[in-house]
Amino acid sequence: MVLFSAAAIVFALARFAGAEPVISEQQMTYDVIGKSLRDINGQMFSGSPIIVKGKRYLALCHHNIAWRYTTAADIDWCIVKTVSVTADITVTMPRWVDYSSASSGMQEKWNTFYARLSEHEEGHAKFDREAARDIEREIGNTKRRSCQELKEAVSEIGYGILKRLDETNADYDARTRHGVMDDAILHEF
């Protein structure tokens, strides 16, 4: 026969309820000027303000994921009582300033390029949202014998998921060659 203390029952009921992370998403743009597709490509490849580790990119999905939690303890366990995760996701894309005065053929090529580039960046944003949910769920289900052990476990969980997220995003870019394999390029022909 197993006996439960009143405190254990209260802690079990107070356990993480599974709230969703607070995710805010925004899109930023940088201006690209050009009357020909060659000019536009030249501007994006040489003038994009997006530089990561010394390399210039046409677009970028950046995330900032953070978590906070409270604990509760009885004589046996320290548990995560509440957890909240926030994810700020910013996608930066090019904005062709001369779009409205361009020919319909050039606009069509831009629209195709832009849609595919946007889809590629949305892939990164999807990974970011999933990581935020994973952090919320995994931290919320954590308990340890001491609150110090819990603090260390929560840190390991959160930063471990962020490390895997960085690896997932890097693998995605390597597999798609930063969207080129998805045809996220502005064809000049």
| Tens-digit pLDDT profile for residues 37-83 | 999 999 998 989 999 999 999 999 999 999 999 999 989 999 999 99
Residue type, 170: A
What gap in Å lies between CA 172 and CA 7, rounded to an integer? 47
Mean pLDDT of the chain: 90
What local confidence, expressed as pLDDT, does residue 18 receive? Answer: 55
Say if residues 85 and 21 touch (Cβ distance below 8 Å). yes
Measure the N-to-C terminal CA separation of the chain; round to a whole number of Å: 78
User: Above pLDDT 70, what percent of the chain?
Assistant: 90
pLDDT-flagged residues of the chain (< 70): 1-18, 189
Predicted pLDDT at 10: 40
pLDDT attached to residue 189: 58
Query: Do residues 159 and 91 touch, judged by C-beta distance below 8 A?
Result: no
